[in-house]
Structure 1
Amino acid sequence: MKKSRKTIRQKVAVPIVCTALLTTMAACNTSVAKNEGNSSQASKQAITIMTTSYTTPTLNDSSPALKALEEYTDTDIDIKWVPSTSYEEKFNVTLASTNLPDIILAPGKTPSFVKAVKDGAFWELGPYLKDYKNLSQANPIILENSSINGKTYGIYRGRPLGRFAVSIRKDWLEAVGMETPKTIDELRAVLKAFKNEDPDGNGKNDTTGIVSDKAGVAWDMMQIWFGAPNKWGVDANGELVPDFKTKEYMEALKFFRELYSEGLIDEDFAVVDEASPEIVNGVGGVYFGVADEGHRIAEKIVAIDPKNTDSIDVFSQIEGPEGIHTLPTSGYSGMLAISKTNVKTEKELKKVLTFLDKLNDEDGQILGYNGIEGKHYEFVDGKFTIIDPTNAGLTSEYQDLNQFQMFIPEERSLKVEPTPLRKKENDLMKANEELVVSNPAESLISGVYAQKGPQLDNIIKDARIKYIVGQIDEKGFQDAVELWHKSGGDDYIAEINKLYKAAKK
């Protein structure tokens, strides 16, 4: 954005003035008397918020950005900042007390938050969102993902839904005379070239295709390309089934096994904690992660080889047997829940929602994310520039205000002009949103999974790795699936389907 944002300061700095054209002098004097001389406070509501803090020193009431945000929203904002390192502990303690703020950041669907919701501590917000300009435009997939059994108990803090992507060594592609792949077959051909055609030019056979880690994000992403569901699918009878019980999942798994047997995957992936250093160091040329990892990998490569300034490309939209599909993130990082302790009536609730809605205006997001023009940022030759970004005292005046920003319907804050790679990352994340495969069970809270989830997940994760590396065959994998069923999987499927049908009513 190249235009000046002086309009923000104009909007928040206009004083409340009583004039004879609008009211009588007597009315003006009465208002002043009631508010002890501070007419601007007469119409302001007070809202208390508890959220995380990341900056030092902690943002305080004297912050000019906070004051501007209060003026913009016509609200007296009282924030309880909690260091991010101890937030979950403080969150649990606060839930157990009777002293809840109006708005509290729920870090996720933690057991304590779910219990508080079931105990009636928070407002169910779904029926109200349609009445607000910004909140009514919440992404339906993210709204469902952040809900509890299909009901909304907090306004999500939006994050890129289409963030997953693949980073690839662009310099290696040029060395082997190939382009960024667009199909599964093209990807396989690139991986073979990276393995066999000395893409780093060192004269040694010491490179591979995919670098992955034991978390298995690469397999999660690629199985979606084959048409597998995202964790849970819906069968012909409308029943939820686990992804690993579908034929598309097994087709993808066989593909991974073939790649590994051909040496196109780093042979040690099952014991690697973090794979991104391996694409930087030239072990392999393809890394599965998030789109914005691409520029960070490129920066690390430049640190090693200053002349290699265009080493990375990013992609995610690979055409598979059933078209182009991508794996989404959950799309949010915590929710802003509204307690019934202080916000007791529907009238009060609507005032709080009006406040949250206004924070999502373009001007509200800029104040909460960038601060004030002329003090925290400026435009130099029409380009957004942060003023003195290394001055902790200055940046702390606004940075943590983004901890109760929701970015609905989209992020509207100011950004430094991106490099070509960063622009491609941003464009890719946006385009991915139209292609994501949602998890139909994302919102469902299973008691069985709460007790046995780690055990059940590990059975399948271990079997997947063993199958890929050739330690077990397809029968061995199906034996693991049977163990999953007997270890609580049958109960899990039954419960999740019961919840699914109840949420659809």
Structure 2
Amino acid sequence: MNLNKSRRWLAGILMLSIALSGVTGCAANKEGKANSSAGEEADPGEQTPMKLTVMLPSFKTTMPEDDSPVVTEIEKLTNTDIHLEWVPDSSYNEKFNITLASGKIPGVMLVKEKSPSFINAVRAGAFWEMGPYLKDYPNLSQTSAIVNNNISIDGKIYGIYRGRALGRNGIVYRKDWLDNLGLQAPQTIDDFYQMLKAFTTGDPDQNGKDDTYGMVITKFNGPFEVMQTWFGAANKWGLDDTGKLIPAHTTEAYMEALRFFRKLYEEKLINADFAVMDSSKWPDPIVNGQAGALVDVTDHANRIEEKIHAALEKAGKDDESKIFMDTIGAVSGPKGLRALPTSGYSGLFAISKSSVKTEDQLRQVLNFLDKLNEEKGQRLAGNGIEGRHYTFVDGNLEASKDEALLESEASGLNQLLMYLPEDRTLKLKASSVKQKSEAVQKANESIVVTNPAEPFVSDVYSQKGPQLDVIINDARTKFVVGQIDEDGFKAAVELWQKSGGVEYVKEINELYQAASKQ
């Protein structure tokens, strides 16, 4: 070998050594993880962690850092190098819109609602459509068809939703009052009416006084919308005999429900101030022994039960073995058992095309989201690390009492939970009332009334929706309290139609027909 060749050979070895040293340095970054990112396609043959930024809302001032123990364990599970971009919840929507406008969108961001800005960004091609890929992942493939329909835009899926109980709505009532009156849990609408009447005219608390009434309602419209479905009314939109979508408030079933509400008001089976009562005070009349029932999410049963026991304990009169509350999903009406569903989700995770540039990278991100839904992933995000953030005492889960530790390392990570296909986190010991609530919510899934227009985004509604809603909601309240009759309500429907309702119905049906042809 001559001198020049020798020098070139040594120089080559030196350069290769420097290059390898640089790669090793990158790989050592963040506990041995490589520096490939969702924006830089990695060699498929290398099992290097993917860099991924996730934008999430924060609800406390102290949130887990990227190098916290739980985040590190999640990274190991998902083979990902995560940067968590925490945004205060109070300013999240503002930051969300600014981020969309900038075009520099993180790989994954939580979308709190199908807002016009998100829809416009989707239509402009800013986010990946995920529908065709979900079947390839063990957990994401088990998402609910109903909820996917609810989150869809123009018939396509642009996010992985954070699951919530679809059948969460029901009836919550004082079981001790029902027992005192010798009654059974209501099964039909008439049974429900008779229960409210007995709570009002009987002596359900056995104090010898006329000081109780049937059901507490607030200015929140939810209870009316739940009860309307019992009478056969649609969930916002239903199909007529010709296959055309029509608003629920234009149907006879809706009118039947209004007559029932008016009867409850006239007979003083509900509180007279419902139209102005603040929703934050909703459970108070039940806890205080004034009202016997409410219609809303069944979770109220357990919360009210705990408050009643707490009040009795404070007064030195508590009997821990006594059960005060119970819950059922619905009562049977003209079309059998029907329940108004929730949307089934609380936000969704969208994947940005500006950061996640290729299909291979998209699949890496979907794998990250899928693994977060494994039992280990959910328990890390929801509970933390055993021995540090929780322990088991006599077989029961106990969270750490070190609030500062929980906040800095674990608590906020529940924003990553999707619960797909189910909640796999560890639970505190549940009371019998809470167990009943959860069972009711699960059973309700088979009787929920879906909204066929849920996926459609109406330009008319975006502009005139609040005005249109106020017309009908105000007319419903006025009818219930006797300020207008049925002709007055029909006049309000005509005003709704003239104020943009006709165009709204036309647009929704055009969107529905277009989707049906796909």
Alpha-carbon deviation of 1:212? 0.3
Matched, 1:477 2:489: yes
User: Residue 52 of structure 1 aligns to which amino acid in structure 2?
Assistant: P
Q: Paired residue for 1:310? A: 323
SS at 2:409's partner residue?
coil
Report how far residue 160 of structure 1 moved.
Answer: 1.1
Whole-angstrom CA distance in 1 between matches of 2:417 and 2:202: 49
CA distance in 2, matches of 1:31, 1:375: 38
Structure 1 CA distance for aligned equivalents of residues 92 and 467 of structure 2: 27
Aligned residue type for 1:476: G
Answer yes or no: is 1:408 the counterpart of 2:420.
Answer: yes
Q: How far apart are residue 92 of structure 1 and its match?
A: 1.1
| 1:35 is the counterpart of 2:29 | no
Aligned residue among 189, 195, 201 for 1:196 = 201
Which residue type is aligned with residue 369 of structure 1? G
Separation in structure 1 between the aligned mates of residue 289 and residue 502 of structure 2, nearest angstrom: 44
Which 4+ residue blocks in structure 1 deviate beyond 3 angstroms?
Answer: 30-34, 36-40
Give the letter for the 2:508 counterpart.
I
Report the equivalent of 1:357: 370
Q: Does 1:281 align with 2:288?
A: yes
Q: How far is the alpha carbon of 1:226 from its aligned partner? A: 1.2
What is the distance in 2 between the residues matched to 1:353 and 1:406?
A: 13
Task: Name which of 430, 441, 445 aligns with 1:429.
Answer: 441
Which has the larger displacement, 214-223 or 490-499?
A: 214-223
Structure-2 residue corresponding to 1:378: 391
1:329 to partner: Cα distance: 0.5
Q: Any idea what SS the aligned residue of 1:286 has?
A: strand
Q: Is residue 2:168 matched to residue 1:163?
A: yes
* Amino acid paired to 2:430: P
Compare 414-423 and 390-399 and name the one that shifted more.
390-399
Give the aligned partner of residue 15 of structure 1. Answer: none
Q: Does 1:488 align with 2:500?
A: yes
- Most deviating of 176-185 and 437-446: 176-185
Of residues 204, 207, 216, the one that matches 1:211 is 216
Q: Which amino acid aligns with 1:208?
A: Y
Partner residue, 2:301: 294
| CA-to-aligned-CA distance 1:315-370 (integer Å, 9 cap, x gap) | 12311121111011111111111011111111111111111111111111111111
Pairwise CA distance, 1:32:
8.4
Please name the residue that 2:106 is paired with.
101
TM-score, with length taken from structure 1: 0.91
Q: Once the two structures are superposed, what CA deviation does each residue of 1:43-100 show, in whole Å capped at 9, x if it has no partner?
A: 2111111111123422112311110000011111111111112111111111111221
Tell me the TM-score normalised to structure 2 length: 0.88
Query: Which residue is 1:319 aligned to?
Result: 332
Query: Could you tell me how far 1:302 is from its partner in structure 2?
Result: 2.3
Please give the alpha-carbon distance, in whole angstroms, between the structure 2 residues aligned to 1:55 and 1:393: 13
CA shift for structure 1 position 174 = 1.8
Retained in 1: the 8 A contact 2:397–2:429? yes
Q: Tell me if the contact between 1:56 and 1:392 (Cα under 8 Å) persists in the aligned partners.
A: no
How far apart, in 2, do the equivalents of 1:383 and 1:202 lie?
39
Partner of 2:45: none
What secondary structure is seen at the aligned counterpart in 2 of 1:71? helix
C-alpha displacement of 1:200:
2.2
1:233 to 2:238 alignment: yes
| Alpha-carbon separation, structure 1, partners of 2:502 and 2:426 | 50
Which consecutive unaligned segments of at least 5 residues does structure 1 have?
A: 1-29
- Residues in 2 aligned to 1:128 and 1:53: alpha-carbon distance in whole angstroms: 30
The alpha-carbon distance between structure 1 residues 184 and 253, as it changes in their structure 2 partners (threshold 3 A), is same
Q: CA deviation at 1:172?
A: 1.2
Q: Give, in angstroms, the shift of residue 282 of structure 1.
A: 2.6
CA RMSD, Structure 1 to Structure 2 (Å): 1.7
The equivalent residue for 2:186 is 181
Of stretches 220-229 and 50-59 in structure 1, the one that deviates more from structure 2 is 50-59
**In 1, distance between residues paired with 2:195 and 2:24?**
72
Aligned to 1:367: 380
Please tell me whether the aligned partners of residues 329 and 441 of structure 2 are also in contact (alpha carbons under 8 angstroms): no
SS at match of 2:85: strand
Q: Which amino acid aligns with 1:443?
A: P
Distance 1:82 1:155 in 2: 20
**Is the Cα contact below 8 Å between 1:55 and 1:396 reproduced in 2?**
no
Maintained 8 Å contact 2:171/2:330: no
Unaligned runs of 5+ in 2: 1-18, 35-47
C-alpha distance in 2, partners of 1:68/1:44? 13
Q: Which residue of 2 aligns with 1:258?
A: 263
- 5 Å-filtered alignment, 1:17-36, equals 34-36=23-25
How far, CA to CA, are the matches of 1:56 and 1:483 in structure 2?
48
Structure 2 residue 347 is the aligned partner of structure 1 residue 334: yes
Question: Which residue matches 2:91?
Answer: 86
User: How far apart are 1:436 and its partner, in Å?
Assistant: 0.7
SS of equivalent to 2:392: strand
**Residue type at the aligned position of 1:209:** G
Contact kept, 8 Å, 1:184 with 1:319, in 2: the verdict is yes
Q: What residue number does 2:226 align with?
A: 221
Q: Over residues 373-396 of structure 1, what are the superposed CA-to-partner deviations in whole Å (9 max), with x where a residue is unaligned?
A: 1111222222222122x4222343
Q: 1:365 touches 1:412 (CA, 8 Å); kept in 2?
A: yes
The one-letter amino acid paired with 1:224 is T
Mapped to 2, the partners of 1:299 and 1:382 lie a distance apart of 22
What secondary structure, in the 3-state scheme, does the structure 2 residue paired with 1:396 have? helix
Paired residues of 1:336 and 1:404 also in contact (CA < 8 A):
no
Identify which range, 141-150 or 328-337, moves more after superposition. 141-150
Larger C-alpha radius of gyration, 1 or 2?
2
User: Secondary structure of the residue that 2:275 maps to in structure 1?
Assistant: helix
Counterpart in the other structure of 2:430: 418
Contact 2:58 2:89 in 1 (8 A): yes
CA distance in 1, matches of 2:49, 2:155: 34
Contact 1:229 1:439 (C-alpha < 8 Å) held by counterparts: yes
- Work out the number of aligned pairs and report it: 475
Distance in 2 (CA, whole Å) between partners of 1:122 and 1:353 is 13
Give the superposition deviation at 1:208.
1.3
Confirm or deny: 8 A CA contact 1:384 1:415 kept in the other structure: yes
SS at match of 2:206: coil
Kept in 1, the 8 Å contact 2:63–2:407? The answer is no
Partner-residue secondary structure (3-state), 1:503: helix
